[in-house]
Amino acid sequence: MRIPTTTVALAAAGVMAMAPLAPAQAARGLLIIDDRHYENPSGCHPLSSNDGSRFVHNLTGQSAYFFSQEDCQGLPVDQVHPAETGRVDHVRSFHIARHQAPPGGNAENR
């Protein structure tokens, strides 16, 4: 018996819709800002008031975005990519995105 292509496509779409969404995980690794270590960081983090430069070493798999305002408000003024070291000036907060675990797996498999 031949099953119409439309039926197969609708059935596949239904199965995909019922699959649980992959959980968001913290960026794995270490973000070092001056002498402070952030292990597996994610989301927005405030930084103490600093009118000068900060040394950043990004040992995570995600870019870190830096803001001149508290609470990661406005547009980022700088970023440090994964496995990069750099200096950022006059920043008050940073944001590092969560990453998605692969469908049907977890972040440990990445």
User: Are 54 and 94 in contact, with CB atoms under 8 Å apart?
Assistant: no
Q: Which domain holds residue 75?
A: 23-104
Domain count within the chain: 1
Q: What pLDDT sits at residue 13?
A: 46
d(CA 86, CA 96): 16
What are the tens digits of pLDDT across the range 54-76? 999 999 999 999 999 999 999 99
Burial of 85 (0-12, 13-18, 19+ CB in 10 A): exposed
Residue 6 is assigned to a structural domain of this protein: no
Q: Which two tokens stand for residue 48?
A: 């103490």
User: pLDDT of the chain along its 110 residues, tens only?
Assistant: 555 544 444 444 443 444 444 445 567 899 999 999 999 999 999 998 767 899 999 999 999 999 999 999 999 999 999 999 999 999 999 999 876 444 444 444 33
Residue 50 is assigned to a structural domain of this protein: yes
Domain CATH number, residue 100: 2.60.20.30
Q: What pLDDT sits at residue 26?
A: 66
Residue 18 is assigned to a structural domain of this protein: no
Residue 99 is assigned to a structural domain of this protein: yes
Residue 8 is assigned to a structural domain of this protein: no
Residue 66 is assigned to a structural domain of this protein: yes
Rounded to two decimals, the pTM is 0.67
User: Are 73 and 67 in contact, with CB atoms under 8 Å apart?
Assistant: yes
Residue 16 is assigned to a structural domain of this protein: no
Residue 77 is assigned to a structural domain of this protein: yes
